[in-house]
Amino acid sequence: MKHQAMKKILTGLLLIFQMFSCLNKQKGNTELNEKIKNDESFAFVKEKALEVVKTGFNAGDGYGEVWIRDYNTFIELSAEVYGKEVLKENLLVFFRMQGKDGNIIDGFIPKGKAIQTKDSYDYVFSELEPRYGGHKNTVETDQETSLVQAVFKYIKKTGDTDFLNEKIGELPVSVRMEMSLDFLMGHRFNEKYGLLWGATTADWGDVQPEHDWGVYLTDDTHYCIDIYDNAMFLIAIENFMEMVPEKEASWKPVYEHLKINCRKHLWDKENQKFIPHIYLNGSPFPKDLDENNIYYHGGTAIAIEAGLLSKEEIKISLQKMIENVKASGAGSIGLTLYPPYPDGTFKNKSMYPYGYQNGGDWSWFGGRMIQQLVKYGFLEEAYEQLLPMARRVVENDGFYEWYSVNNERGSGTFRGSAGVLYVAIRMLEEAAGELGSKQGSHYK
């Protein structure tokens, strides 16, 4: 009898504890909802983002070209103010300028501005698209994957599945997308590691250390494998299989092996981080540089988007990012990497410590980390880490490409930053209950 009475008491206490826990959680959610709802910086960022995206599709004031790696990150924002025909036309230009081997250019510019000089891009042209010249930064391996992802977002936002059947030349978009993925498997795939390769760059960047500019593969290039390129490939394959389900049987094994190999070769379990590079023909950096001491923020964010980390590993990754921000004096977790590569390790003068891609603070990637925090349920953390990015937009009355720890800035009117921050805020609002449970989301 005593045992049964004790059991009833314990059960009652447990129910009371659960009730109070539920009430506290409910209170916490309500408080978070109110914070998000009443934060004036969020409203300003959304309004400013819509204003900025109405003015065009080039990456920013410092860029004349429409870049696919940028368009991929603001096409959802563009869909808020442009009709689908306009959005589609930009995508079609990239497919019309696709190489015969399946490769995709980085960006395009009106043909009259594509003037070849010794200091310019090596422009390419296509009979299918006589209006533009295109260029490709060959050190990078994310152009093809960015285009597939952009098509996926376009279809999600517009419902225009007929786009997949639209022909460019003799081939439909669906076939050309697969050609672009085949290009990576045929020209950028390392059999030994089962992963994509590219030139050595800083995290997700497109500048190699061995050249004053650094955007093209050269005889001096040090080839390597990194997490960013491979995480982007994983996302693109997953998107492609959803858009073209009849191809899943062909690509699912590639996807699964790639995922396994990312964890096997690039994840440092002991240090709970991704290693910067696996070198295929040696490192371009001094022997006394411990490169694995460098933490890649951007590549980690994309790896989370690709589903490569557990919830506990995401929590640890975020903590490392926050620690890096404090140690560096950066403004947000958009910090590219920490610590930066030493002065002089890149010939490109913009790659000084905390400059450009060598430790610059980019909301363009920080905003994508916020999106993943929301997706995985870290709402309070997402709110806290989004605040400095949003308030920086208010302070500067716009979106800049990047910031140094000394508040030097990159290109203004940077649409990639506008795009990812807009989506991050919308995701956070919806997840916290601001948009209401009945409304579907285009931002997941």
3-state secondary structure of 322: helix
* pLDDT, position 228: 98
Comparing CA positions, the residue from 85, 87, 170, 92 lying closest to residue 129 is 92
DSSP string, 128-196: TEEEEEEE--TT---HHHHHHHHHHHHHHHH--GGGGG-EETTEEHHHHHHHHHHHHHHHSEETTTTEE
CATH class, domain 40-431, is: mainly alpha
What is the residue extent of each domain of the chain? 1-38, 40-431
Q: From the first residue on, what is the mean pLDDT of each consecutive set of 10 residues in the chain (444 residues)?
A: 65 58 56 92 98 96 96 98 98 98 98 90 96 97 98 98 98 98 98 98 98 97 98 99 98 98 98 98 97 98 98 98 98 98 98 98 98 97 98 97 94 97 97 57 57
State residue 119's pLDDT score: 83
pTM (predicted TM-score): 0.92
pLDDT of 362: 98
Distance CA 202, CA 303 (A): 16
